[in-house]
Amino acid sequence: MKKMTATLTLALTAAAFAHQGHDHAAATFTLAQKNAAFTLAGPASLASGYTTFAFSNTAQQPFTPVVARLKTNANDAAVKAALGQLMASHGEDMSAVEKIAEFVGGSAGVLPGKGYEFGANLPAGRYVVFGFGASEEGKPLYDLGQYRSFTVTAAKNGAAAPRADVKATLKDFKLELPTTVKAGQQTWEVTNGGQETHHLMLMRINAGKTMKDVEAFFKAADPSAAGAPPFEDVGGLETISAGRSAFTRFDLAPGDYAVACFLPSAKEHAPHFALGMLAGLSVK
């Protein structure tokens, strides 16, 4: 979940989902900050069905919201303990979290003053939304207020998923998506067709640089010594569990892009991009 490029500025393009003639169900969560403490405001209850999550960040640092559906009646302390195990293993040990929750999706990093949306189908149940990462002092952000639980009721919201312009499937360990897509506003449907948890991150390769430069940057033994990245982060869809799909919007300028999953594999003791989840994409 923690990207190797977490120190980079995320140039996230926020875009509203277009209404496509169906009912639209949205859940807005707003992060605020006062000194080292955060508050995450949002609805306590939602109807089930296709829901667009809108994240707004009024804090002074990037916000990486992740939504998870609880599989058991675990309380908040149990959820935080499982997240703590995940963080202590630098994202590698998902075992405690996977016992009690599945990941619905989220944002790679909402910049201060910005917003971000993603959509997913929500069956009834109990959910949490939390900010992934830690403070400079090493305290988990979910312990500093970046945490909120909500209930999805059996009542149906009547909303339908948007039509996808691009379909991407995340496998263990490869990315299945077109090699060329059209420039402009577009909806991507991202499906986790693997066994492991994945995410999808998009980067625009700088002029004069190629996928070879991107590979060399990520494969450097010490990424902090690898120099300036040969790309700019565009954004992406955060953590999604096996078997689930989610939708995200991009506004893509023509150019060469790289798509990657940075999550680590506990089995393979390697990040997924190094195992094959790194692909080039041409936007025309």
Question: What SS3 class is residue 283?
Answer: strand
The two three-digit tokens of residue 193, written as one number: 């067709």
d(CA 99, CA 97): 5
Number of residues that bind Cu ion (CB under 5 A): 4
Q: Is 27 or 260 the residue whose CB approaches Cu ion more closely? A: 260
Cβ atoms of residues 218 and 278 within 8 Å? yes
**Of 47-55, 81-89, 115-123, 262-270, which part binds Cu ion (CB under 5 A)?**
262-270
CA distances from 118 to 27, 64, 163, 179 (A): 10, 12, 14, 23
Among the listed residues 29, 272, 274, 278, the single contact to Cu ion using CB under 5 A: 272
> What does the alpha-carbon distance between residue 69 and residue 67 come to, in Å, rounded to a whole number?
7
* Contact flag: residue 261 with Cu ion (CB under 5 A): yes
Q: Minimum distance between the CB of residue 254 and Cu ion, rounded to whole angstroms?
A: 27
Instruction: Name the minimum Å distance from CB 98 to Cu ion.
Output: 14
Q: Which stretch binds Cu ion (CB under 5 A): 13-21, 52-60, 148-156, 255-263?
A: 255-263
Note the Cα 225 to chain centre separation in Å.
26
Which residue, 4 or 261, is less far from Cu ion as judged by CB? 261
- Of 69, 171, 198, 204, the one binding Cu ion (CB under 5 A) is 198
Q: Does 148 bind Cu ion (CB under 5 A)?
A: no
CB closer to Cu ion out of 94 and 161 = 94
User: CB 258 → Cu ion: shortest distance, Å?
Assistant: 14
Min separation Cβ 264 and Cu ion, Å? 9
Name the residue with tokens 């590979």.
215
We find the least distance from the C-beta atom of residue 240 to Cu ion, in angstroms, to be 9
- Could you write out the DSSP letters of every residue in 3-68? -TTTTS-B-----PPPP-SS---EEEEEEEEETTEEEEE--SEEEEEEEEEEEEE-SSS-B-EEEE
The site for Cu ion (CB under 5 A) is made up of 198, 261, 263, 272
